[in-house]
């Protein structure tokens, strides 16, 4: 089998498991709805104040949902005793990483679509104008978050207090990605053209390349368990 076919097998397995169990997606989506409530309660209903911090809130919502969702992806393999099967996959183990990464990207894309929709409905913001640029920023940022998240998720699945260690490891590493996406979302929502945030986009691309390459090269070390 080619590399991509093997990666696709892993992704398809994850999608199938999720479609039948509906464990992660349902919980994560519900969690992001709850986050919206929490934001509203803690920050008050003051429109102007909320609008000013909206890009931060949007990404905070996505990030917190990602922390829950990405952490699950390898814990599931352990709980279902499937780790050995992953180890037994023939050929280069980085195909497993790519497959898992693709599955996590799907999950995050779904969460982001829901979060963005809920924000526009409940917080009364108009994102339509900024949407094309926003989708690009979202895609680049999500790839960075998922690339590190998938890598570290495979690691913390084996560690004591994994729910604690996963965010502790992931959040500081993701600071550059987080700054880039929040800052560019801010600019785009203020109606500025995409060219204004080009330096952030370059940073995101650089981060994505570094994280994905690091993931591809080191993943088999983590899969050993």
Partner 1 sequence: MSRWLGLVATLGVLAGLVMAFGVAPREMTQGNVQRIMYVHVPAVWVAYLAFLAVFVASIMYLWTRAAGADWTAHAAAEVGVVFLGVNIATGAIWGKPTWGTWWTWDARLTSVAVVFVIFVGYLLVRQMTDDPERGARFAAVVGIVGALNIPLVHFSVYWWRTLHQPPTFAKPGPAAASGAIGMALLVNFIGLLLLSAYFIAKRYALLRAQQEATA
Name the residues that contact partner 1, by CB under 8 A: 148, 151-152, 155, 158-161, 165, 168-169, 172-173, 175-176, 179-180, 183, 199-200, 203, 206-207, 210-211, 214, 218, 221-222, 224-225
Which one, 69 or 153, has the nearer CB to partner 1?
153
CB burial of 80-107 (b: ≥16 within 10 Å; e: otherwise) equals: eeebeebeebeeebbbbbbbbbbbbbbb
DSSP 24-53: HHHHHHHHHHHHHHHHHHHH-S-HHHHHHT
Residue with Cβ nearer partner 1 (87 or 121) = 87
Q: How far is the CB of 161 from partner 1 (least distance, A)?
A: 6
CA pair distance 178, 211, nearest whole angstrom: 14
Of 35 and 223, the one with the shorter C-beta distance to partner 1 is 223
What is the number of other CB atoms lying within 10 angstroms of the CB of residue 155?
17
The nearest distance, CB 90 to partner 1, in angstroms, is 22
CB 9 to partner 1: min, Å? 24
Length of the chain: 225
Of 128 and 172, nearer to partner 1 (C-beta) is 172
């Amino acid at each position: 089998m080619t590399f991509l076919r093997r990666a696709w097998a892993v992704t398809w397995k994850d999608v199938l498991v999720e479609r039948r169990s509906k464990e992660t997606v349902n919980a994560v989506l519900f969690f992001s709805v709850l986050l919206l409530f929490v934001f509203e309660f803690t920050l008050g209903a003051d429109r102007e104040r909320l609008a000013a911090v909206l890009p931060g809130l949007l990404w905070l919502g996505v990030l917190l949902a990602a922390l829950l969702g990405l952490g699950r992806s390898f814990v599931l393999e352990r709980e279902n005793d499937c780790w050995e099967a992953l180890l037994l996959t023939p050929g280069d183990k980085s195909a497993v990483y790519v497959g898992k990464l693709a599955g996590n990207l799907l999950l995050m894309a779904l969460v982001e679509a829901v979060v963005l929709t809920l924000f526009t409905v409940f917080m009364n913001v108009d994102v339509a104008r900024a949407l094309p640029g926003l989708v690009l920023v979202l895609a680049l940022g999500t790839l960075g978050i998922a690339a590190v998240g998938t890598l570290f998720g495979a690691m913390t699945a084996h560690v004591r207090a994994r729910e604690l260690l996963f965010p502790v490891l992931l959040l500081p590493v993701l600071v550059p990605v987080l700054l880039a996406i929040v800052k560019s979302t801010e600019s785009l929502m203020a109606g500025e053209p995409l060219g204004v945030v080009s330096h952030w986009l370059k940073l995101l691309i650089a981060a994505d390349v570094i994280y994905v390459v690091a993931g591809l090269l080191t993943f088999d070390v983590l899969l050993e368990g």
